[in-house]
Amino acid sequence: MPFSWKIATTTLALALLFARAEAAPQDQSAAALPAPPSAVPGDSPRVREPRPGTDDQDYVIGPQDVLGINVWHEPEISQSVPVRPDGKISLPLVGDLKVSGLTPRLLQNLLAKELEAYVRKPQVTVIVREVNSRKFYIIGEVGRPGEYPLAASMTVLDALAAAGGFRDFAKVGQIYLLRLMPDGSRKRIRFDYKSAVNGKNSYRDIELQSGDTLVVP
C-alpha cells in the first residue's frame, strides 16, 4: 500500500474517533434529562367557566350579575354591564341606576322612561348574561367541592353531577342540605340519595335555593 494512502486512512480513522468522542457527552446529557411528569387525573385545577345566563323575564337581578342591555339604534348605550355590589349599574345618559331586586322586564320599562328625554321612543331589551348573584355550595367528598352558580330549577342531583360525583369514601346515606333561613339560622334537610336515584314515587329530589350548602360526608 502506498505511503500516502496509509496516511489518508489513518487520518480518516482519527477523525471518526474524535467525532464519536464529541458526540458521547451530548448523548449522555440527553439521556440524563428527566422525562416530563405524567398528568395525574384529578390534579388539574378547576378552571372557571363562563357562568350561564337566563332568559327568564321574572328572574330577580342581584349584585354581580352581568346584564346585556340593548337600545334599538343606539349602539353607544347598548352594552353589557355588571351589577355592582351596591346593586347599581352605570349607563351613558342614565348614570347610576339601582337595579338589584328588579326583574329584566321591570328594568326594561324603567330604562325606557329614563331615556325618553334623550332618545325618541326608546326600545329597550334586557337579558341576564351571567347569573352570579344566585349561588350554592358543595363541601365534602365530591370531585369538585366549591361555589357554583344556581341555575333555574336546579336540584340536589343536578348539583352532585356538576361537582363531579362522589369520591371513593363518600357516605351517600348521610348527605344533607343546610338551608339559610330568613332569621339567619340554617335548617338541616336530609337527602335520601338512594330513593332519589331509584325514582321512588314517595320521594322527590330537593330543589336548591340560593345560599344552600350541600354536605357530602
CATH class of this structure's domain 66-130: alpha beta
**Is there a common fold for 66-130 and 135-216?**
no
* Assigned architecture for domain 135-216: Roll (3.10)
Domain boundaries, the chain: 66-130, 135-216
Per cent of the chain over pLDDT 90 is 59
What confidence tier does 184 reach under pLDDT thresholds 50, 70, 90?
A: confident
- Count other Cβ atoms within 10 Å, centred on residue 82: 15
What confidence tier does 201 reach under pLDDT thresholds 50, 70, 90?
A: low
CA distance 155 to 150: 10
User: What DSSP assignment string belongs to 44-57?
Assistant: SPPPPPPPP-B--T
Residues 164-177 pLDDT 10s = 999 999 999 999 99
> Is the pTM higher than 0.95?
no
CA distance 53 to 60: 12
Average pLDDT over residues 15-34: 46
Residue 31 has pLDDT above 90, yes or no: no
Rounded to 5°, the CA angle 23-29-32 comes to: 140
Residue 161 has pLDDT above 90, yes or no: yes
pLDDT for res 13: 52
Average pLDDT over residues 17-23: 50
